[in-house]
Amino acid sequence: MCGMNKKKKLRSNLITYGMVIAAFAIVQILQSTGHLSSLLQGLLVPICVYVILAVSLNLVVGISGELSLGHAGFMCVGAFAGAIFTKCTQEAITIDLLRFVLAILVAALAAAVFGILIGIPVLRLKGDYLAIVTLAFGEIIKNVINVFYIGKDANGFHFSLKDQFSLGMEPDGKVILGGPQGITGISKQSTFLIGVILILITLFIVLNLIDSRDGRAIMSIRDNRIAAESIGINITKYKLMAFTVSAALAGVAGALYSHNLATLQASKFNFNTSILALVFVVLGGIGNIRGSVIAAVILTALPELLRGLADYRMLIYSIVLIVMMLFNWAPKALEWRERYLGRFFKKSAKEGE
Amino acid sequence: MSLLSYLINGISLGSVYAIIALGYTMVYGIARMLNFAHGDVIMVGGYVALTVVLSYSTNPLVAVLVAIVVCTVLGIVIERVAYRPLRGAASPLAVLITAIGVSYLLQNVVLLIFGPNPKSFQSVVPFPDLKLAGGTLNISAETIVTIASCIVIMIALTTFINKTKAGQAMLAVSEDKGAAQLMGINVNGTIALTFAIGSGLAAIAGVLLCSSYPSLSPYTGSMPGIKAFVAAVFGGIGSIPGAMIGGIVLGVIEILSKAYISSQLADAIVFAVLIVVLLVKPTGLLGKKIQEKV
């Protein structure tokens, strides 16, 4: 990692940005010439969401070296914080774009606060224990939002954990968050352009963090905790930094996600969503940010592209996943690749280590 | 009386978690991997037993035995095809993701064969319910069978590990793979045996779970799977008595919070207790403290 000189690193980063911009341009051309099916058009924003989610998770899993199984929880916080903000300021802020930008910032901030609150206890643990606690927090966030009611009337906000009627609102009050029903009537603000801009911002933050002094401290903890500690690196501070930035970016992904839907329910952000993000990270290459982007795009589009196969699509998806994992990670497969496919794969195999 | 009956139900549910958690913990102890497909093996066990009962034989014992055999074979095949090639991979996450792939695969194969609609499961327990205290305390036969099976399995497994050669080999491999190999232990065979036992237990857990909660869908296994995983971590992953205690504690907490606090928040409470336990005892209740070496 450190052997790579500055110029090469810069070039690699520019390729990543360029790739995203090129993909955006190609999609725009296809769209204007009418070559993009409506199915794919509907996928554009979700793809952006999952790219941001995957890149943010890679910061924790790849760069900080901690397995997080509850990333969907932060996305959930961001999604709801952003959507609640949008609903509450519908009348106060009349410029749509400004409101959406503020909603994204609120989402990032809310998720970051949760990142710090959860990170402080969680980061004391190690390995699989840390993984299971992140899973637990993710599930708790989902479950609590699922029973949470928020209403607003002339007297201000009302909260309840029971039901809509125990909010005790005036007759003119309206329910903002309705427990398992979630939030309805969110104004649809997410566009592909905004999604791509958010991807670029995410990449800028993460890539710059990795190449900074802080990033090197984070990676040194991953590579050897004790050695890092012995040269005076503050373990808790740097781990928490990676965890919080990652949570905030997941919150951004959540806001983008919630403003693409008419209704938002907490049950969407379950364990499977966290796992999905992890699949993107591992398949794209742990610690390889560009890989996360590519894997998220392909794997989000794949099930939809396989839709023609109807019932068999998830079956094929799972087989593709297993085969790709074996091909990319099995020591025997790597040996075989090196022997028969030669230089073509050598570099990527090494990067995975 | 209601508290007592909730407690008994909790212990029964906890016994199922414990049996599933045993599979998790044994596999983790020996192969250092989280087998996320374990929950889906439970579901396969349930479907196999259901199919046998509906179309071949109404004898519940036959159904359970067939389910055990099918799941054991399934466990061995999964280990051989999907997990063994990844042993020695650069990152332990590789095999985790592959396990998730296997989990999706099992769910979707079952989905294609049996369809997405939940099937109602007929209890395999042929005994009547037990009425105590003049009929005020009703304990279902499923509950008794579940708790009894759990105790029998626990004793059998402990005896197997401590008294037989294969069991000792398992312990050796979980301590140190390299050293075990040097002592002439067939490491791959031992790991395969662990998966076989774990999957066989999953089949039993599947049948018991479906007998108590008689609804079976391709996704039945995933939540109990996660909870059992939590139970295994709770008790100290890799420890067999830990899995047992973890499972039962988890089951009791779940049933009690469903009864007295909120049924929607029960899962959140279970996870919150786990977090508290891990923060106080970072390797679980009975987990070994791993010494850090420089």
What residues of B are in contact with residue A161 (Cβ under 8 Å)?
Answer: 262, 265
pLDDT higher than threshold 50 for residue A351: no
- Nearest Cα of chain B lies from the Cα of A178 at a distance, in angstroms, of 14
Residues contacting A276, CB < 8 A, separation 6+? A50, A299
Q: What is the per-residue pLDDT for A338?
A: 80
What gap in Å lies between CA B91 and CA A328, rounded to an integer? 11
Which residues of chain B make contact with A180, given a CB cutoff of 8 A? Answer: 264
Distance from CA of B266 to the nearest CA of A (A): 9
Q: B97: which chain A residues are within 8 Å (Cβ-Cβ)? A: 278-279, 282-283, 321, 325
Asked whether the beta carbons of residue B94 and residue A329 sit closer than 8 angstroms, the reply is yes
Measured distance CA(A101)–CA(A194) in Å, rounded = 10
Pick the CATH number of A6-269 from 3.40.50, 1.10.3470, 1.20.120, 3.30.230: 1.10.3470
Measured between CA atoms, the residue of chain B closest to residue A331 is B89
In the predicted model, what is the mean pLDDT of residues A296-301? 90
Residue A348: list chain B partners with CB under 8 A. none
- Chain B nearest-CA residue for A280: B97
Which among B93, B230, B294 has CB closest to A286?
B93
Q: Is the pLDDT of residue A216 over 70?
A: yes
Average pLDDT over residues A29-34: 87
Q: How confident is the model at residue A349 (pLDDT cuts 50, 70, 90)?
A: very low
Select from A96, A58, A49 the least CA-distant residue to A76. Answer: A49
Q: Tokens at residue A274, please?
A: 């966290």
In the prediction, which pLDDT does B289 show? 63
Contact A278 B97 (CB under 8 A): yes
- Residue A297, number of CB atoms within 10 A of its CB: 21
Helices B38-55, B60-78: inter-axial angle, 10-degree rounding? 140
Cβ-based contacts of B109 with chain A (< 8 Å) = 315
Distance from CA of A162 to the nearest CA of B (A): 9
Type of residue found at B42: I
pLDDT one-digit tens code per residue, A163-208: 777 777 777 777 788 778 888 878 788 899 999 999 999 999 999 9
Partner residues linked to A159 by β-bridges:
A150
When scoring A69, A139, A230 by the number of chain B Cβ atoms within 10 A, the one with the most, hence best to mutate, is: A139
A142 in Cβ contact with A269 (< 8 Å): yes
Cα angle vertex B93, ends B90, B98, to 5°? Answer: 105
Residue of A nearest to B99 (CA): A322
Interface touch A318/B101, C-beta < 8 Å: yes
Could you say which DSSP state residue B287 is in?
Answer: P
Residue B283 class from Cβ within 10 Å (0-12 exposed, 13-18 middle, 19+ buried)?
Answer: buried
Distance between A95 CA and the closest CA of chain B, angstroms = 38
Number of Cβ pairs < 8 A linking chain A and chain B: 139
| Chain B CA closest to residue A133 | B275
Does the structure show a pLDDT above 90 at A317?
no
Across the interface, which of A140, A318, A321 has its CB nearest the CB of B271?
A140
Nearest residue to B70 (alpha-carbon basis) of B49, B93, B97: B49
Provide, as residue numbers in chain B, all residues whose Cβ is less than 8 Å from the Cβ of A267: none
For this complex, say whether ipTM is above 0.90: no
Confidence of residue A54 (pLDDT cuts 50, 70, 90): very high
H helices present in A59-153, as ranges: 71-88, 96-122, 127-146
| pLDDT averaged per 10 residues in sequence order, chain B, 294 residues | 84 92 88 87 92 81 91 95 87 85 92 87 71 71 88 92 92 88 91 94 91 84 86 84 91 91 85 87 74 54
- Distance from the Cα of B103 to chain A's closest Cα (Å) equals 8
Interface contact flag, A143 B264, Cβ < 8 Å: yes
- A333 contacts B282? CB cut-off 8 A: no
A89 DSSP assignment: T
B268: nearest CA in chain A?
A: A140
Does the beta-carbon distance from A318 to B275 stay under 8 Å? no
Q: Which residue has the higher pLDDT, B71 or A336?
A: B71
Give the pLDDT score at A345.
Answer: 53
What angle is formed at CA A117 by the lines to CA A115 and CA A119, rounded to 5 degrees? 60
pLDDT digits (tens, 9 = 90+) for B50-82: 888 888 777 788 889 999 999 999 999 999 999
From chain A, the residues in CB contact with B28 under 8 A are 128
Q: Which residues contact A219 (CB under 8 A, 6 or more apart)?
A: A1, A63, A210
* Residue A3's pLDDT band (cuts 50, 70, 90): low
pTM assigned to the model: 0.85
| Residue of B230, B271, B286 to mutate when probing chain A, most A C-beta within 10 A | B271
pLDDT above 80 (res A347): no
A89 touches A102 (CB < 8 A): yes
Q: What pLDDT is stored for residue A162 in this prediction?
A: 73
SS (H, E, C) B92-152: CHHHHHHHHHHHHHHHHHHHHHHCCCCEECCCCCCCCCEEEHHHCEEECHHHHHHHHHHHH
How many residues can be counted in chain B?
A: 294
A interface test, pick of B34, B84, B93 with most A CB neighbours within 10 Å:
B93
Q: Where are the beta strands (DSSP E) in chain B?
A: 119-120, 130-132, 137-139, 215-216
* Among candidates B87, B88, B278 on the partner chain, residue whose Cβ is nearest the Cβ of A133: B278
**Residue B97 to residue A283, Cβ atoms within 8 A:** yes
Which residues make Cβ contacts (< 8 Å) with residue A73, sequence separation at least 6? A114, A118, A134, A137, A138, A139, A140, A141, A142, A269, A274
Rounded to an integer, what distance in angstroms lies between the CA atom of residue A260 and that of residue A186?
8
Instruction: Count CB-CB contacts under 10 A for residue A193.
Output: 12
pLDDT attached to residue A253: 96
Q: How far B176 CA lies from chain A's nearest CA (Å)? A: 19
Helix runs in A224-353, H state only = 225-230, 235-258, 271-284, 289-305, 313-329, 331-340, 343-351
How many angstroms separate the CA of residue B175 from the nearest CA in chain A? Answer: 18
